[in-house]
Amino acid sequence: MEVGLRVVRGPDWKWGNQDGGEGFVGTVVEVGKPGSTTSPDKTVVVHWDSGARTNYRVGYQGAYDLRIYDNAPIGLRHTNIICDSCQKQGVQGMRWKCTRCHDFDLCSLCFMGDKHDINHAFYRFDSPSSKGVKLPKRSTSSKVQAFGIFGGARVIRGPDWDWANQDGGEGKIGKVSDIRGWDSESGRSVAHVTWCSGSTNVYRVGHKGKVDLKYITASSGGFYYRDHLPVLGEAVEPANPVTPCLFKVGDKVRCDLENEVLKQMQEGHGGWNQRMSEYVGKVGTVHRITDRGDVRVQYDGCANRWTFHPDALRKVQMFGELDKVKIVEDEQQVKELQKNHGEWTDVMRQTLGKTGQVLKVYSDGDLRVQVEGQVWTFNPACCLPVAAHGGGHHPDNTLNGHHPRDRLPELTSLIAQLNELRTSQGAETGPDRLVREAAQGHLETVRDILAKYPEKVDQKSSGKTALQVACHQGHRDIVSLLLSADASLETQDEDGDTALHYSAFGNQPDVLQLLLAKGAKINALNNGGCSTLHVAVNKQHVACVRALLNHGCDVNIQDAYGDTALHDAIGKESREIIDKLVNYPNIDFTIRNKRGFNVLHHAALKGNVFATERILHKCRQIVDLKKDDGFSALHLASLNGHKDVAAALLRNRAEVDIRNNRQQTPLLLSVSQGHSALIELLVKASANINVHDEDGDTCLHLALMRQTVATEKDTSPMLEEIRTQLGMGEDEAQTGAAIACYLAQQGASLTAVNQQGKTPLEVITDPRTVEILQQFAAAYASGNKPKMTPAFEEEEAAECEVCCTQPPSVVFDPCGHCFVCEDCCIKMKKCLKCKVTITAKKKLADGSVVAGTGNTLDLKRRLQEMEDSLQCAVCMERKKDTVFMCGHAVCGKCSEALSICPMCRKAITKRIPLYT
């Protein structure tokens, strides 16, 4: 429970309309403490957006007056979770996870905005460390409209106002344009306000428990599901109890593990990044302890902070220059500690137990110590601190004079910094104003400054040049002016971004093309290895992507994670961008990222059907390409439950029984995860049901060993029928038995033995399941196997789709389509259905190859017949151009001499000319 939480009335509310009415929002500004007479324990003080301020119960006397409307303002963020609706990285506030769809998450705004199927139930995660709370379906829950300080509200200064006369003075009215976060510290915690004077700025509405505003006219913040919100004060069960951390903020720590050991330990504890290896053996400072007990460490000279498993670190005894230290007396101990830390010589024996002074502290923590006039390099573990009068350095004292170098300030988002530049009201003069004026689009002011200080054209403010901010904001005239003043195109900011990167960040294709015309390096990389194309794709700025491709950028550049632009596009699911990249000349579909995924693997992993189909259309030969662990695209789709992707792969002749390094086939993986619809798809595609993995287990073994696997709602018709027979309800989670019965029905062996010497029946503990399984197997043995619909059944064409006269008789390789006759296939180079290049044309009857010339004589005969049908039947020289009332036609010259039709012998009453 923290100040800054946004709240609404809760289940035990009995205070009338103190809040302004149901749905009106307030902010927790004070948390009660034991012994307080004004705010006792288990109470909070809420400042309502209307300006009212009162205490409320959050467990006091067993009553709960409030619900949490939004906890993003206190800085809660699910860092590695992407909202699958709005695609924003790092879900702020509460996270909502679908119980029926695989790996599908929503942020609060999308969940309350009815994104995704409202008939699906969700879990609510109040924080990254909390256990999910299962909620009822939104379709059966009541909604309440939220009111308060939201976009459109009219506001005046509030109780925590501390901004002088920015609003124009007491009582002046402003209008809220939107609610946003305060850099990376908190989300939806400040309001962007435009005052009647025209000035704009952001003001706190929950940030650090402060409220700068109150409304005079409330606006709507949309609707929320009242009963889905957590009750403020009720205990939240943590997902995993966190062991108390041995470290505290400010501690000096070092990781001395081998890279491979550290990489394994990092699983689930911040993950592994190859750059972390650069800091193994170096001393860093504990920046914070996460909710899970992991340790975030800041290293000098590094802009990133790395999160470590706490057991991977050890606390380092730190010293500062001029500190007095005593050398450990134990010779054997010092010898061991000195290995790889200055080493040991016998002459050092004279220093044992003596006092010296630290002359230098090396970056790896080792000390340069002077003892009795001689200087030695010691492992800091060999030294003990010696207290000195007037400020000795104690290992636990973080307030002494020997401070480590100040940590780098927290990086703020690009947008927030630029907005700060645009709205700052500083009084700087001369060249210091250049960047701010460029950001605000003041062309004449920029021109004046450049005239006075031409040498300052590349001067930075907040790490950015005037050219960079002008490119981001799209001020083309200012960009042209700066370039004419010789502004550097390749100057980088702290993140390595150039002006070209900024134009892509700001979605400014016109500016981007101007920079390229002036010679900007189109493939320049920032510190994350990202090209401008990476930025444009990641931001889904189609016009910028188009401009970069038209100028011939390198689409195969890999960023720090090894991802190409197409990898990023697949994750963002922008169809237009995917299509442009896939069709770009010289794109390499086989490039792997640092996790070993090529773009087809990545599409299968993400479940992107469109990308899968487009990639295979251009490069079908990679359909069975494997990662280092042996996983193909079909393995990845099957493991993750992406049925549509698996179907697309199979349509493109993916090997259905392909094996990975653990001898698993896609069917084995689907069964192990309980993906019922995928199991049926693979079985229909003739997957081997009785295949064994490296442990000797068959699909039937795996189904029966995993009877408690939970899956999304099944859409498999045959398994639905089996569920009905077994009496399983719609929400039944134990689908293993149903899958096993289906497999037995399709011919799975009940006698196959795994490496433990067990048959499928021997892993079952329920006698009833054994009996049912034997019944399904007996049905298969007796020939009562249900009729299987082919996985990719197509209607057989009744006639050639080109000439519509003969039946289709030719099969194309490699796609397998059959829809034309031998005569019409002769000149075809690509299949008209799937656009795949035809490598062979085979007769449907016997499989023989159709000759390249085909029936040349027959074609000549048919051509002659067509020509004859157009020639005059009288002179046999000219084309028919006159028709009689009987319907027959001849040429005009011959018709003049005729009185009777030469074909039907009827009298000619009228001659009608034909015009062609």
Q: Is residue 555 part of a domain?
A: no
Torsion sign over Cα 725, 726, 729, 731: negative
**Same domain, yes or no: 57 and 169:** yes
Domain total in the chain: 4
Spell out the residues 6+ positions from residue 160 whose beta carbon is closer than 8 angstroms to its own: 204, 210, 211, 212
pTM of the model: 0.45
**Same domain, yes or no: 107 and 222:** yes
Please report, as a single letter, which amino acid is at residue 274.
Q
**Looking at residues 537-548, what average pLDDT do you find?**
92
Residue 390 has pLDDT above 50, yes or no: no
**Same domain, yes or no: 34 and 165:** yes
Peptide bond into 666 cis (omega under 30): no
pLDDT at 738: 77
**Same domain, yes or no: 256 and 233:** no
Q: Is residue 178 part of a domain?
A: yes
**Same domain, yes or no: 151 and 282:** no
Tokens of 72: 């993003």
pLDDT band at 591 (very low <50, low <70, confident <90, very high): very high
Residue 789 has pLDDT above 50, yes or no: no
pLDDT at 718: 66
Mean pLDDT taken over the chain: 82
Q: Is residue 728 part of a domain?
A: yes
Tokens of 160: 């925590």
**Same domain, yes or no: 103 and 234:** yes
Distance (Å, rounded) from C-alpha 761 to C-alpha 769?
Answer: 9
Q: Return the H-helix or E-strand segment holding 259.
A: helix 259-265
Distance (Å, rounded) from C-alpha 371 to C-alpha 357?
Answer: 7
**Same domain, yes or no: 233 and 274:** no
| 516 vs 819, residue with greater confidence | 516
**Same domain, yes or no: 230 and 165:** yes
Q: Is residue 195 part of a domain?
A: yes
**Looking at residues 174-203, what average pLDDT do you find?**
87
DSSP string across 157-192: E-TT--STTTTSSTT--EEEEEEEEETTTEEEEEEE
Tokens of 185: 């510290």
Q: Is residue 398 part of a domain?
A: no
Of 375, 339, 338, 342, the closest CA to residue 356 belongs to 375
pLDDT band at 719 (very low <50, low <70, confident <90, very high): low
How does pLDDT run across 798-853, given as a tens digit for each residue?
578 887 778 888 888 777 778 888 888 888 888 887 677 788 888 876 677 876 54
**Same domain, yes or no: 259 and 223:** no
Q: Of the candidates 273, 300, 315, which is a domain's last residue?
A: 315
Q: What percent of the chain has pLDDT over 90?
A: 31
**Looking at residues 308-333, what average pLDDT do you find?**
82
Residue 540 has pLDDT above 70, yes or no: yes
Cα distances (Å, whole numbers) of residue 438 to 143, 503, 512: 46, 14, 17
- Residue 752, domain CATH: 1.25.40.20
Q: Is residue 762 part of a domain?
A: yes
Q: Return the H-helix or E-strand segment holding 719.
A: helix 717-726
| 184 vs 837, residue with greater confidence | 837
Q: Return the H-helix or E-strand segment holding 723.
A: helix 717-726
Residue 793 has pLDDT above 50, yes or no: no
pLDDT band at 102 (very low <50, low <70, confident <90, very high): confident
Distance (Å, rounded) from C-alpha 725 to C-alpha 758?
Answer: 27
Q: Of the candidates 781, 809, 831, which is a domain's last residue?
A: 781
Q: Could you list the residue range(s) of the whole structural domain that residue 693 is in?
A: 671-781
Q: What is the DSSP letter of 780?
A: H
Of 538, 534, 533, 540, the closest CA to residue 516 belongs to 533
Q: Is residue 824 part of a domain?
A: no
Distance (Å, rounded) from C-alpha 746 to C-alpha 213?
Answer: 68
Residue 407 has pLDDT above 80, yes or no: no
**Same domain, yes or no: 280 and 202:** no
Q: Of the candidates 748, 781, 814, which is a domain's last residue?
A: 781
CB-based burial, 66-93: b 16+ in 10 Å, e otherwise? bbbbbbbbbbbbbeebbbbbeeeeebbb
Residue 714 has pLDDT above 80, yes or no: no
pLDDT band at 795 (very low <50, low <70, confident <90, very high): very low
How does pLDDT run across 618-651, given as a tens digit for each residue?
888 999 999 988 999 999 999 888 999 999 999 9
Task: Count H helices and E strands in the chain, helices first.
Answer: 27, 35
pLDDT band at 409 (very low <50, low <70, confident <90, very high): very low
Contact (CB, 8 A) for 759 and 753 = yes
Torsion angle (degrees, nearest 10) of CA 465, 471, 476, 479: 30
Q: What percent of the chain has pLDDT over 70?
A: 84
3 state DSSP class of 28: strand
CB atoms within 10 A of CB 106: 23
pLDDT at 861: 65
Residue 265 has pLDDT above 80, yes or no: no
Q: What is the CA radius of gyration of the chain?
A: 37
What's the gap between Cα 155 and its chain centre?
A: 37
Of 251, 288, 277, 273, the closest CA to residue 410 belongs to 288
Q: Is residue 463 part of a domain?
A: no
pLDDT band at 244 (very low <50, low <70, confident <90, very high): low
pLDDT band at 577 (very low <50, low <70, confident <90, very high): very high
Residue 862 has pLDDT above 80, yes or no: no
How does pLDDT run across 458-491, given as a tens digit for each residue?
988 878 899 999 999 999 999 999 999 999 999 9
First to last CA, the chain: 86
Contact (CB, 8 A) for 916 and 881 = yes
How does pLDDT run across 31-81, given as a tens digit for each residue?
888 877 778 888 999 999 998 988 899 988 888 999 999 999 988 888 778
Main-chain phi, psi angles of 311, to 5 degrees: -75, -10
Residue 784 has pLDDT above 80, yes or no: no
**Looking at residues 439-460, what average pLDDT do you find?**
87
Lowest-confidence segment of 499-513, 518-532, 868-882 by average pLDDT = 868-882
Please report, as a single letter, which amino acid is at residue 362.
Y
**Looking at residues 590-609, what average pLDDT do you find?**
92
How does pLDDT run across 274-308, given as a tens digit for each residue?
888 888 888 888 888 876 678 888 887 777 788 88
**Same domain, yes or no: 154 and 297:** no
- Residue 895, domain CATH: 3.30.40.10
**Same domain, yes or no: 145 and 269:** no
Residue 426 has pLDDT above 70, yes or no: no
